[in-house]
Structure 1
Amino acid sequence: MRITWYGHSAFKIEFDGKSILFDPFISGSGYKGGAAEVAKGTTHICLTHGHGDHVGDTVQIAKETGATVISSFEIVTWLQGQGVEKVEPMNTGGSITVDGFTVTLVQAFHSSGELVNGVFAQLGHPTGIIIEAKGQPTVYHLGDTALFGDMKLINELYKPKIGFVPIGDRFTMGARTAAYAVNNFFDFDLVVPCHYATFGLLDQSADSFRAQVTKKTEIRVPEKGVPFEV
């Protein structure tokens, strides 16, 4: 599996001819390559929730590539209204198998919505996303979330080995609570921290998080747009 982080919560994982893009907030993330570069080869887009810094460039990328967008029913319906053609609607707790891999939406403690004609519209519930595929490590993108005890149940049920974990504080877990989750609730082989340093309101580095993770887990802080293999 090849993993690329594009800043904020935007990731791409590639395996077996699939190229799955998570939360493609590219234009505003500080990634200099641009959305058109990231779009190349994308087959699927998974969205954790409906905030603009996660939906990001989804419409552009989906139209350019014909990628299938997988997310909550409310989000994909809203995107269909903007011209996105291929969607897979889901909701929290459900799983689907599409093109040889399984997607499960699990709970996250956050919010989800966007301004539509000057009015804040609710776009379903926020989620985390689990990707399972034969012969590949299970990936869990936690989305934007607070700490919650049922993370332990998610670990027991799905046994994720790679975690994309928000650490930026204020709107999500910060270094202390994210490290607590990694130390006490999960058995990750690899953690990639995310949702930090994009804006001034967020923590600006992963140093404190790394220092507080005591479990034997690899913490990788990649450069934006530089892929690595696992």
Structure 2
Amino acid sequence: MKITFLGHAGLYLEFDSYSIVVDPFISGNEKAKEKVNMDELNPDFILVTHAHQDHILDVSAIAKKSDATIVSNYEIAMYFQAKGLKVHPMNHGGKRQFDFGTVKYTNAIHTSSFEDGTYGGQPGGFIVQTDKKCIYIAGDTSLTMDMKLIPMSYALDLTILPIGDNFTMGIDDAISASSFVECSNVLGYHFDTFGYIEIDHAEAISKFEKAGKKLHLLDIGASMTI
């Protein structure tokens, strides 16, 4: 599985003959819009964790171009369905088999509303499991004891955690979260986009190393393979 960091909380997953975009915020992200070419993104699915603008800004544009199916909670799915886009609604604890593997919608502690104030349902995260790899995308969340439920059912190859603090968990809580989900291979996201969530990269990597864990901090547009 190849994972490309699109900036902020945006991801592009490529495996076998399938691809998935997660929470695309590119055209409005000054740090990403010159580094990521949205025309090169042609996903089969778009996963949306919650309704905040910095996670859904480019969903419609990418979905219209690619004919991707948008997967999210019921409220977000219905919002995009009303725009004529293909959707698959889910809710917390639910799991669905797709052609590429399974997706489970997990709990997250955050808020969720569209830019106009429309209710965006409750925020969540995703576990994506193919026949080869299993990853956890936490979404915007605080540290939560619910994360301890994940390793009861899944052996993760990578956990993707917000690390920017202020709006989500920070470095120290992300280290605890990786212990909760029993995965020491961590990709950090939701950091550096704007002042509130800027981090010290060297300090973050050092703290993870001291805890016996590996933190990946990708440049925007860069990729890693698991």
**TM exceeds 0.5?**
yes
Change (3 A) 1:5 1:88: same
1:69 and 2:70 matched: yes
Displacement, 1:11? 0.6
In the alignment, is the contact (CA less than 8 A) between 2:6 and 2:36 conserved in 1? Answer: no
TM-score by length of 1: 0.91
| Equivalent position of 1:97 in the other structure | 97
Give the aligned partner of residue 170 of structure 1. 166
Could you tell me how far 1:225 is from its partner in structure 2?
A: 0.8
1:175 CA displacement? 1.4
Offset of residue 27 of structure 1: 1.3
> What does 1:43-58 correspond to in 2, within 5 Å?
43-58=44-59
What is the correspondence of 1:1-230 to structure 2 with a 5 Å cutoff? 1-29=1-29, 30-31=31-32, 32-34=34-36, 36-39=38-41, 41-84=42-85, 86-116=86-116, 120-135=117-132, 137-182=133-178, 184-213=179-208, 214-230=210-226
Q: Any idea what SS the aligned residue of 2:206 has?
A: helix
Question: What is the CA distance between 1:152 and its match in structure 2?
Answer: 1.3
Q: Percent identity?
A: 35
List runs of 5+ in structure 1 lacking aligned partners: none
Letter in 1 for 2:187: V
CA deviation vs aligned residue, 1:57-83 (integer Å, no higher than 9, x gap): 000000000011100010011112223
Deviations 1:155-198 (A, max 9, x none): 2222222111101111100112112222x313325211000100
Q: What amino acid is aligned across from residue 205 of structure 2 in structure 1?
A: R
- Asked if structure 1 preserves the Cα contact closer than 8 Å seen for 2:52 and 2:115, the reply is no
Q: Say if 2:27 and 2:58, in contact at 8 Å, map to a contact too.
A: yes
> Normalized against structure 2, the TM-score is what?
0.92
Asked if structure 1 preserves the Cα contact closer than 8 Å seen for 2:18 and 2:100, the reply is: no
State the secondary structure of the residue aligned to 2:105.
Answer: strand
For 1:114, the aligned partner's letter is: F
2-structure distance, mates of 1:194, 1:91: 23
Runs of 4+ in 1 over 4 A off after TM superposition: none
TM superposition shift of 1:202: 1.1
Consecutive unaligned residues in structure 2, runs of 5 or more:
none
Number of residue pairs matched? 223
Amino acid at match of 2:148: K
Residues 203 and 210 of structure 1: CA distance in aligned 2, closer, same or farther (over 3 Å): same
Q: Cα distance 1:217–1:37, how it changes in 2: closer, same or farther (>3 A)? A: farther
